[in-house]
Structure 1
Amino acid sequence: MKPYSGKNALVFGGASGIGLVTAQLLQERGAKVTVADLSDPNGDLHGAPWLRCDVREPAQVEAAVQTAADGKNLDWLVYSAGIQHYGTVITTPVEEYDMVQSVNARGAFLAARAAIPRMKAGGAIVIVSSVQALACQDGVAAYAASKGTLEALVRAMAVDHAKDHIRVNSVMPGTVDTPMVRASADSFRGDGPLEEILAEWGSSHPLQRVAQPAEVAQVIAFLLSDEASFLTGSSYRVDGGLLAQLPVRL
């Protein structure tokens, strides 16, 4: 029997990047996986149901959770939906700030709000956050604020629902080779090759490279599993040592 047989998981933002690879990993290990996303995973999930869902819409989020639970219980929730916009508090339009918050943070609130009542004891939630909740590059005011909101939400939910035996944690990736990161790199690369700017970004990490989505997915799967049964309310940096270093070079 596969280790996750009998587990019912819902992954928001599971059509690409970290969410997709996490859904694939959970499925490979025997879990029943449902993906909720605006985009179609295009057959990458080997028959796992895909639910078209705009995480900004409470009714759509509720419907996705209800469908995934299928009249039974939901064991695991992964929230990996997210968007990135660049700008300071001066240059970021209010509407853009609201959009980033609504997808990255409010969507996680809506997903948990719908899922927790359908979770039994032993349930687990993992939120995909970012190291930018703790330390920022230039021009990420809206994105960093949304990830900081997520971190506070994780702690609050962990405390509130410990009595229900539901655990809540987050992962905080550094730079990961995902479609979103590649789109960002493309906007900054000028005339140079895309792989060159990804390598440059990777060089800022002590491990001298960007992460692959599977390296984050492995941590998510662990935090969902019973092997992490005493872990809740915590954030796990999957950042190649990025936040362990000082920028001063000796």
Structure 2
Amino acid sequence: MTTSTTPSTTSYRPLASRGALVTGGSRGIGRAITSRLAADGATVVLTYAERSDAADTLLEEAAESNGQVFAVRMDLADPDQVTAAFEAADEVFRTAGVGLDILVANAGIFTSAPLAEAPVEEWDRVMAVNARGTFLTLRQAAPRLRDDGRVVTVSTVGTQWPSPGEAIYAASKAAVEQLTRVASRELGRRGITANTISLGPTDTDLLRASAHPSALEGAAAMTALGRLGRPADIADLVALLVHPDSRWVTGQIIGADGGLT
């Protein structure tokens, strides 16, 4: 586990004295979420699957301005690693004098293949990370979350407006949405909210590597705001949902697609 600890320079810190765990928090959207929560005063533990270099770079940036950030390697498809990551986070939070107040289940993988051609093994791989991985994450988080905590999971507009080739991915994210709605019912009596963000096309390295520039232009043109989403747009929405004032919003699937749907 790698760490970085320094006082935040942000004057308004609504998440001070709160602990947050962000899965897939070292790159892209997860990176923006980690940075925003840390800037708002939270002690953040991020998980990453393989690339420690991205996590290390984020920790260096956090050391300059964004407060307390820690990184733990975790393979979402491995139940033992999920358990170990939460146990490592427990120790971080104990040392910092906080507890687990915020879970952002952001990590996931994408696949695309026509139904008639998609290998069964690809179904198993994507479901193991996106659906089962979210289940394992929520299972570990539920008994650890302090009262009045916040859960945010990440899905896709593809569950409502699927494109050809997205059957496996959309199915895995539909499972994420339903797991979150059940969590809202099970945890609500403790004041814990659980919501899903439904993402539209968001400008990340992963999107640009997997989509033709003309497709990106077309997607941007279809939004009401005429552009792709940015990681900071999603991080700002997460910040709203985990804020203490969001206590009456739970069990919702909230679109973050610039008016695409």
Tell me the TM-score normalised to structure 2 length: 0.86
Greater shift, 74-83 or 197-206, is seen at: 197-206
Structure 2: tracts of 5 or more residues without a match: 1-10, 64-68
Give the counterpart of 2:85 among 41, 64, 71.
Answer: 64
Q: CA RMSD in A?
A: 1.4
Give the counterpart of 1:35 among 20, 31, 46.
Answer: 46
Determine if contact 2:26/2:48 at 8 Å carries over to the other structure: yes
1:218-233 to 2 correspondences below 5 Å: 218-233=236-251
| Equivalent AA in structure 2 for residue 204 of structure 1 | M
Alignment match, 1:44: 58
Alignment match, 1:248: none
1:199 equivalent to 2:194? Answer: no
Q: Equivalent residue of 1:34, what SS?
A: strand
Distance 1:101 1:134 in 2: 18
Determine if contact 2:191/2:247 at 8 Å carries over to the other structure: no
Matched residue pairs, number? 235
Distance 1:121 1:32 in 2: 17
Distance 1:160 1:115 in 2: 12
Q: Equivalent residue of 1:103, what SS?
A: helix
Residue 26 (structure 1) shift: 0.4
| Equivalent AA in structure 1 for residue 240 of structure 2 | F
Residue 15 (structure 1) shift: 1.2
Aligned sequence identity (%): 36
Q: Equivalent residue of 1:236, what SS?
A: strand
Residue 224 (structure 1) shift: 1.1
Give the counterpart of 2:128 among 102, 123, 147.
Answer: 102
C-alpha distance after superposition, 1:180-223 (max 9, x if no partner): 212211xxx3xxxx4x4422321122222110011011111111
Distance 2:194 2:164 in 1: 30
Structure 1: tracts of 5 or more residues without a match: 244-250
Determine if contact 1:105/1:149 at 8 Å carries over to the other structure: yes
Q: Equivalent residue of 1:122, what SS?
A: coil
Determine if contact 1:58/1:110 at 8 Å carries over to the other structure: yes
Distance 1:227 1:14 in 2: 24
In the TM superposition, structure 1's runs of 4+ consecutive aligned residues that sit over 4 Å from their partners are none
Residue 230 (structure 1) shift: 0.7
Distance 2:219 2:119 in 1: 27
Distance 2:256 2:111 in 1: 22
